Structure 1
Amino acid sequence: MISLTSPVETWAHRIPAGVKLLALSALTVALFLTDRPGVLALALLAILALYLSAGLAFAGQGLRHLRMLWPFLLLIALWHGLTGQAQAGAAIALRLLAALALANFVTMTTRLTDMIAVLTWLLAPLRRLGLPTRTIELAIAMVLRFTPMLVENGQRLALSWRARSRKRPGWRIVVPMAALALDDADHVAEALRARGGILNDIPDGRD
């Protein structure tokens, strides 16, 4: 499994995970306080400067992570343009890109173990009430770990398709990609059971 944390060491890596996650929450809320495309564009430029402050190599890696967003942004722009709401569409697209760019910056500069430690601390009151929180912690860790792996699987399938056909892969790789995801999930579940993980207590539907 691949980590989202960037191997390029930056000044942001030294900031505690809790501080970065708190700042991310506050800044994301702030993005929803305005619908003015100009203000949101300035916020996006500030975030770009944040990436560049960590170096060109880091910024290039971060922008490559965000490249997958362009189809969604294009769809938003086209829809709102056709419905006569171009300004609203621009605000939504800019807000979405800015929020995800901030989240990407945090995940690239924060180790997964540090994020889980913050989550464990936040869920401590629920544990005191007798509620099991290990399942939530594991689920979030799996999502963070598997997201880049799913993206890589999609890229490999697209390359395989292009090697065999001149047509664009598009929806044609959705089914094999889903099959790969289910197969990987099954292997991870078996590994967790073999190591005495929490899935030992969860029925797998085959009984």
Structure 2
Amino acid sequence: MLTLTSPVETWAHRLPAGAKLAALALATTGLFLLASPWALAGAALATVALYLTGGGRFARTGARHLWPLWPFVAVVGLWHLWTADLSGGAAILLRMVTAVALANFVTMTTRLSEMLAVFEHLARPLSPLLPPRRLALAFALVIRFIPVMLDRMAQIEASWRARAPRRPRWRVLVPAVLAALDDADRVAEALRARGGAD
């Protein structure tokens, strides 16, 4: 639960966590400045090439982490088909998938302890109000939990489809919330067993 770092060692694992997070922030900002679907498609292809530099196994694992995005892609795509705004829809989808893929790349190549150290350093000015260690841990856990919860939602939806012919829609929300609370309890117990966040 606490780590989604890829076991496949790549060149990106050796880069400093701060540099990767800064590059992610700049790249994401750049994606939102691009308006042309062709430019965004180029960014998406560059992201695919980035994954492939880690090898086939690494790229396949990254693609599996992105699979839970398909409901969002489907909804946005269908809406823009219905409104006949194909260019705008393509730009939104390319921007969203590329940004999530870049964040996933950083997550897969950065250890939780390294990410925690970066956030703790950035949170140091807030130390009179909030202990930097706790704030850093909260940020790091949010980043780690997002793909885990997306994967859990996909599992719950698959279980529903195996038992019922109807589409799950809102019915998966309660099990998903309960699963999130259960995961949070387990992480809290693990943290307490290791001495807490201090």
TM range (shorter): 0.7 to 0.9
Once the two structures are TM-superposed, the CA of residue 150 in structure 1 deviates from its matched residue by: 3.0
1:73 aligns with 2:81: no
1:170 aligns with 2:165: no
Distance in 1, matches of 2:151 and 2:197, equals: 27
Cα separation, partners in 2 of 1:94 and 1:137, compared to 1, 3 Å: same
Which amino acid is the alignment partner of residue 51 of structure 2?
Y
Q: Which moved more, 1:70-79 or 1:91-100?
A: 70-79
1:58 aligns with 2:58: yes
Once the two structures are TM-superposed, the CA of residue 56 in structure 1 deviates from its matched residue by: 0.3
Q: Indicate the residue corresponding to 1:115 in structure 2.
A: 115
Cα separation, partners in 2 of 1:67 and 1:175, compared to 1, 3 Å: same
Cα separation, partners in 2 of 1:9 and 1:121, compared to 1, 3 Å: same
Once the two structures are TM-superposed, the CA of residue 8 in structure 1 deviates from its matched residue by: 0.7
For the 8 Å contact 2:119–2:139, the answer to whether it is kept is no
Q: Which moved more, 1:31-40 or 1:150-159?
A: 150-159
Which amino acid is the alignment partner of residue 143 of structure 2?
L
SS in 1 for 2:143: helix
Runs (5+) with no aligned partner, structure 1: 200-207
Q: Which moved more, 1:165-174 or 1:116-125?
A: 165-174
Once the two structures are TM-superposed, the CA of residue 90 in structure 1 deviates from its matched residue by: 0.7
Cα separation, partners in 2 of 1:89 and 1:114, compared to 1, 3 Å: same
For the 8 Å contact 1:40–1:94, the answer to whether it is kept is yes
Cα separation, partners in 2 of 1:21 and 1:187, compared to 1, 3 Å: closer
Distance in 2, matches of 1:25 and 1:159, equals: 34
Q: Indicate the residue corresponding to 2:146 in structure 1.
A: 147
1:38 aligns with 2:38: yes
TM-score by length of 1: 0.82
Taking only the aligned residue pairs, the percentage that are identical comes to: 54
Matches within 5 A, 1:184-199: 184-189=183-188, 197=196
Once the two structures are TM-superposed, the CA of residue 151 in structure 1 deviates from its matched residue by: 4.1
Q: Deviations over 1:144-167 (max 9, x none)?
A: 34334434544544454455x252
Higher CA-based Rg: 1
Distance in 2, matches of 1:116 and 1:2, equals: 12
Aligned residues: 196
RMSD of aligned residue pairs (Cα, Å) = 2.4
Runs (5+) with no aligned partner, structure 2: none
Distance in 2, matches of 1:2 and 1:90, equals: 34
Cα separation, partners in 2 of 1:197 and 1:45, compared to 1, 3 Å: same
